[in-house]
Chains A and B, each alone.
Chain A
Amino acid sequence: MENEAGALSRVAGLFSARGYNIESLSVAPTEDPTLSRMTVVTIGSDEVVEQVTKQLNKLIEVVKIIDLNEGNHIERELMLVKVRAIGSDREEIKRLVEIFRGCIIDVTDKSYTIELTGTSSKLDAFLEAVERSAVLETVRTGASGIGRGEWILKV
């Protein structure tokens, strides 16, 4: 979409006005600074997704829209999670972070801050693997998606 003030609120407003769900939404400018790329995750029947797509297309600032689910695609989400890490838990958590291929990016003698990327379900799995009471704070970006292979989204 055009990288213009208000474009994001048009998208968000459309979802709430028409009663569609937004699971997550992530947006940032692209290599072309006049364009932003947004990944929206929504849940609905095929008919609803078709309507969402058509309605988004009507927004003047939306340049192009693709349904990534129609082809093979990759999606990743970033999560920062602060966990309590004391005594023997410190080693256990470190091992868990390795298994999930994350990294510890900030340390105090009582806590770790962990960076983890992956699909949303992988991030969920990590949070389940860590003892619930140990999780102090999480922040997630929502998914970003891109098509697989040489296919690209051209405007």
Chain B
Amino acid sequence: MSVELTGAEITIRCLQEEGVHCIFGYPGGAVLFIYDELFKQDKVRHILVRHEQAAVHAADGYARSSNNVGVALVTSGPGVTNAVTGIATAYMDSIPMVIISGQVPTSAIGLDAFQEVDTVGITRPCVKHNFLVKDITELAQTIKKAFYIASTGRPGPVLVDIPKDVSQQKTKFAYPDKITMRSYNPVTKGHSRQIKRAAELILSAKRPVIYAGGGVILSDAAPQLTELVQMLNFPCTNTLMGLGGYPATDKQSLGMLGMHGTYEANMAMQYCDVLVAVGARFDDRVIGNPKHFSNENRKIIHIDIDPSSISKRVKVDVPIVGDVLDVLKELIKLLKAGKEKPDQVALKEWWKQIELWRERDCLKYDRESKIIKPQMVIEKLFNITKGDAFITSDVGQHQMWAAQFYKFDKPRRWINSGGLGTMGFGMPAAMGVQLANPKGKVACITGEASIQMCIQELSTCKQYKLPLKIVNLNNRYMGMVRQWQEFFHGNRYAESYMNALPDFVKLAESYGHIGMKIERPEDVEGALKEAFKLKDQLVFMDFITDQTENVFPMVPGGKGLSEMILV
């Protein structure tokens, strides 16, 4: 007969059974029993953050860069409400994550107890699923379900709310081997007839484009996508979430598409005759105004694991519901088995057209500038790290420049908040990335506005000796806000000037890190090289950049993809 364990012991045992090595959290009253059990063991490492938002972002970065489920542990009340931004961030980008939250004792629920919030209610719209465990006998099974739901189908965050008394009570522990749920059976294999139709359409294409999103990264299908693109000699464009799904330095890559996508990618999207959407969802930042997009006559194949992503904003001709990896494998097999090839003459013409679009050189900027151009910093970063670093970012202009100028050849190297657009994501996410990849080079490209939203994590980095390289593109503005105000609000820069900035060098030094201030273009390369030589140190590089620089190309909100503002 097995011994009885407390709810807290069971929680930790479940994490061990799931193979969790590292969790991120912050203790508090409702989770004290769980922390006590964490203290007594050494299989699961706990990283103490300085704010719960950072715990969830760090777990998120851990998950994105490793394809393990990220785990965060927070207390009730403000612990949970602080975590909500992180949870919503992960939800929008479909990141597999389990959040364990403490709750007031079951007898106190609903009585406005100290540090009580309706956690399940508050998080409901931003989780894949959540649970309140009121009965200790259901705890182990619930945690099993949470990991299963988080990591299968379209992944997402799942929250398990554990009242304090449940973590204290005892029951027999048995971890279920597997779970079956009658109400949750995600499809993985695509419908073979639909895949056949897709293959036929692909072979008939004269002006094809492959448009690949975050689904390729999430299902680890980058090698299959690359194989498909290269065997067909089709152009491929990646979304912000899909960067690294196809090697950006390859000649068949058109770069990123969308609001700040390349001219060639957006034009090819608009004027193609067959569009193959792979794990992407035609969102507003990608295709602009759907009415404008649907003016052009083209056939669309859409592969996605989530049926609700299909025909949501754009009507598609060949929908394929399934895991991108499975479907691509089937599609490749089918295309290889047949002798047919797409019309090579037409394809040659199409590439000629694309080369003409490429000649616009839409990402050009003033390389002779006497003030540091942010694009140049990222190009140098790319060169110095040989394109092999993990790059996290915050949100704004620096994020778009990072996406445009750091050429990602591998998946899971580009970590950013694409859907929710969460400022403050970059540094905590980089902590998670570094912990998942202790030997990896990790850089956080940020701005002086974003970095201040989670700046307290410099302390966490000190405690755990995380040698992040922080690339602060400091233009003394919330750059993207300023850019919109310049374009659309008559140059009235309402509240977008970052006044009273700290001395970032001294700030970094006060946490025991190294700080650098770089003000001249000729010093950029040297500073970056020096920073990466300091392998065991966090280096905060404060680059004083051109205040007036804007992100181009730009498709203004509500406009069509081909209505770009070019530099």
A residues contacting B by CB (< 8 A) are 1-2, 5-6, 9-10, 13, 17, 47, 50-51, 54-55, 57-58, 60-63, 155
Contact check, A9 vs B124: say whether CB atoms are below 8 A apart.
yes
Contacts of A54 in B (CB 8 A): 307-308
Question: Which are the 5 A-B pairs with shortest beta-carbon distances?
Answer: A54-B308, A63-B183, A60-B129, A54-B307, A60-B184
CB closest residue in chain B, given A155? B182
* New A-B pairs, 16, CB < 8 Å, besides A60-B129, A61-B183: A1-B183, A2-B183, A5-B132, A6-B124, A9-B121, A10-B124, A13-B124, A13-B125, A54-B307, A54-B308, A57-B308, A60-B181, A60-B183, A60-B184, A63-B182, A155-B182
Among A13, A47, A60, the one with the most B-chain Cβ atoms within 10 Å of its Cβ is A60
Contacts of B307 in A (CB 8 A): 54, 57
Chain B positions 96 through 137: 1 when the CB is less than 8 Å from some CB of chain A, otherwise 0: 000000000000000000000000110011001100100000
Contacts of A2 in B (CB 8 A): 183
Closest chain B CB from A37 CB (angstroms): 13
Chain B positions 176 through 215: 1 when the CB is less than 8 Å from some CB of chain A, otherwise 0: 0000011110000000000000000000000000000000
Closest chain B CB from A42 CB (angstroms): 16
CB closest residue in chain A, given B181? A60
Contact check, A50 vs B311: say whether CB atoms are below 8 A apart.
yes
What's the count of A-B pairs with C-beta under 8 Å? 34
Contacts of A63 in B (CB 8 A): 182-183
Contact check, B306 vs A58: say whether CB atoms are below 8 A apart.
yes
Separation of A109 and B120 alpha carbons in the complex (Å): 50
Closest chain B CB from A14 CB (angstroms): 8
Task: Say yes or no: is B300 at the interface (Cβ < 8 Å to chain A).
Answer: no
Separation of A16 and B315 alpha carbons in the complex (Å): 24
Contact check, A55 vs B308: say whether CB atoms are below 8 A apart.
yes
Chain B positions 142 through 173: 1 when the CB is less than 8 Å from some CB of chain A, otherwise 0: 00000001000000000000000000000000
Contacts of B120 in A (CB 8 A): 6
Separation of A88 and B362 alpha carbons in the complex (Å): 85
Separation of A155 and B183 alpha carbons in the complex (Å): 9
Contact check, B311 vs A62: say whether CB atoms are below 8 A apart.
no
Contact check, B124 vs A62: say whether CB atoms are below 8 A apart.
no
Contact check, B128 vs A60: say whether CB atoms are below 8 A apart.
yes
CB closest residue in chain A, given B125? A17
8 inter-chain pairs at a CB distance below 8 angstroms, sorted by A residue, are A2-B183, A47-B311, A50-B311, A51-B308, A55-B308, A60-B128, A63-B182, A155-B182
Closest chain B CB from A108 CB (angstroms): 39
Separation of A26 and B149 alpha carbons in the complex (Å): 28
CB closest residue in chain A, given B130? A6
The one of A5, A13, A51, A61 in contact with B312, judged by C-beta atoms closer than 8 angstroms, is A51
Closest chain B CB from A154 CB (angstroms): 12
Contacts of A55 in B (CB 8 A): 308
Separation of A8 and B272 alpha carbons in the complex (Å): 44
Closest chain B CB from A22 CB (angstroms): 16
CB closest residue in chain B, given A5? B132
Separation of A60 and B157 alpha carbons in the complex (Å): 13
Contacts of B312 in A (CB 8 A): 51
CB closest residue in chain A, given B186? A58
Chain B positions 300 through 326: 1 when the CB is less than 8 Å from some CB of chain A, otherwise 0: 000000111001100000000000000
Separation of A5 and B134 alpha carbons in the complex (Å): 11
Contacts of A58 in B (CB 8 A): 306, 308
Separation of A47 and B121 alpha carbons in the complex (Å): 29
CB closest residue in chain A, given B154? A58
Contacts of B129 in A (CB 8 A): 60
Closest chain B CB from A145 CB (angstroms): 20
The one of A5, A13, A62 in contact with B183, judged by C-beta atoms closer than 8 angstroms, is A62
Closest chain A CB from B303 CB (angstroms): 16
Closest chain A CB from B271 CB (angstroms): 26
Closest chain A CB from B110 CB (angstroms): 12
Closest chain B CB from A54 CB (angstroms): 4
Contacts of A10 in B (CB 8 A): 124
Contacts of B128 in A (CB 8 A): 60
Contacts of A1 in B (CB 8 A): 183
Contacts of A57 in B (CB 8 A): 307-308
CB closest residue in chain A, given B121? A9
Q: Which of B244-283 contact A (CB under 8 A)?
A: none
